[in-house]
Amino acid sequence: MSIRLGDIAPNFQAKTSIGEIDFYEYLGNSWGILFSHPADYTPVCTTELGKTALLKSEFEKRNVKVLALSVDTLEKHSGWINDINETQKTSVDFPIIADEDRKVSTLYDFIHPNASATATVRSLLIIGPDKAVKLIITYPASTGRNFDEVLRVVDSLQLTANYSVATPANWKEGEDVIVVPAISTEDAIKKFPKGVKIVKPYLRYTPQPNK
């Protein structure tokens, strides 16, 4: 099944490194990140899961629950987690799905047969508290994802959800943001007391509202 932005992320039950979970119960009202890896005991995945564990407080600050997936067994996950903790100087405590039967990988279209018939690609979804899919990225097996960029997208999505602003190219925390087109300039001036800079009628900046 192919999943697109705005679709409701389908629920599932799965075996994970912290026990059996129901995806929706695990997420609760939080934001979620579901991300797939080609296999256990592979070098790039080891660094990605280590980086995710090291960013634990950043995900918590943003109310994001993280859930990883690999198509190997729970036994393999458990030995690999020890290696990740040792080599990446961290402690992986988020769940990793043991998707041996490819049930979740198939549901989320994580296997791209022309890349590999059996291994999952590096896909990552950000899911909102409404369970709608907000971001989908897919990387090849040989390229590790940039988790600072993932956090930056979470920040952008949360600004849009909470303040009706968008973020410009290469935006970084603390920089000016863009008033969404749905808000009239008259309303924007009332809504953003820090000021609205009108460059064009459709391009209006305001200081980051939550700073």
Residues that bind ligand BEZ in the complex, under the rule CB under 6 A: 38, 42-45, 141-142
Among residues 114 and 142, whose Cβ is nearest to ligand BEZ?
Answer: 142
Closest contact distance (angstroms) between CB of 46 and ligand BEZ is 7
Shortest Å distance, C-beta 111 to ligand BEZ: 14
Whether 209 is catalytic is no
> Annotated catalytic residue: which of 27, 33, 34, 45?
45
72/127 Cα distance (integer angstroms): 24
Q: Least distance (Å) from ligand BEZ to the CB of residue 110?
A: 14
Choice between 43 and 181, CB closer to ligand BEZ: 43
Nearer to ligand BEZ, 14 or 45 (CB): 45
Instruction: Give me the active site residues, please.
Output: 45
